[in-house]
Structure 1
């Protein structure tokens, strides 16, 4: 797959706010709450791909075919980036971003294809990226999240290494209840209290 830069004008990338981190760290719960507070959001590519592949009997799964899984995640991330340009004014919260794919490949010991590196360099987000630290008290596995807590920690560490390499500043999320996390993110974004 070859990455090509979008040709149509898009909204300012300062509106595209990534929340990343290891699995089971409260990331998606926070994003759901930010959406409930009135902010637009995207869906996590990895979870969506797993659900689709399981439903279709596909093999592009992280425990079966990691390279194909990564390619399908890239397709979804590119689509999310494109579709976010059409959402209303204000921040759009991304449940992970393209650099997460680079971290995933690094974590899995897989080579980084040139088109994924190009996508991570060219498709930009707000310079400040929120990162959810490992949180053992809330970590739980489910049908799509099969990783151990140790893998969740390693995933967090991979993201903490990759995002700064692409020029992003990491903002750790506090280990506090979701309402306080929402207030923290909204304050950092300068969008005030919940709607």
Structure 2
């Protein structure tokens, strides 16, 4: 039976770096879709879509994450890792105090994951770039909204300890091995 595993946490907490490490170990991984949405918007002349049109941005994210889930479901891989899950979308909407239609929460309830690994804010590794402009302080606040969203949906959250990329990746894999 396939396990769908989500890596969650505020911006700049090391999720993508660990996901890339999992990819290098030949695990099937779904990369973060928000960078793709942001880059497409920039190509169309919209510098920060999630600030100018948060509902449109979030709808595009929701569609992208739903498509990832469906793609993963169709594969024969035993483990599928996701850099963020569907509930992240409404968690961010809550953070931005933006109202959204019920479909956001409905999709979070419809598409369920098996394991949620949480990456806590870590000032030492937090950086910004063209697509990630949130400060460390904002990352801490966003992180709380993310954890709350998953807990409200009944998920048990496993905290990934600080450490090297290898240590964090091994922690996740070792945590999963006891369930396989």
**TM bracket, shorter-chain basis:** over 0.9
**Number of equivalenced pairs:** 178
Pick one of 64, 70, 93 that aligns with 1:76.
Answer: 64
Unaligned runs of 5+ in 1: 1-11
Paired residues of 1:98 and 1:120 also in contact (CA < 8 A): yes
Correspondence for 2:143: 156
Deviations 1:146-189, CA, capped at 9 Å, x for gaps: 11111111111111111011111111111100000111011111
Please list every run of at least 4 consecutive aligned residues from structure 1 whose deviation after the TM superposition is greater than 4 angstroms: none
The 5 Å alignment of 1:85-164 reads 85-126=73-114, 128-164=115-151
CA distance in 2, matches of 1:88, 1:58: 38
CA distance in 2, matches of 1:56, 1:44: 20
The TM-score normalised by the length of structure 1 is 0.87
Correspondence for 1:7: none
The TM-score normalised by the length of structure 2 is 0.94
CA distance in 1, matches of 2:110, 2:74: 19
Paired residues of 1:132 and 1:173 also in contact (CA < 8 A): yes
Partner of 2:154, secondary structure, is coil
Unaligned runs of 5+ in 2: none
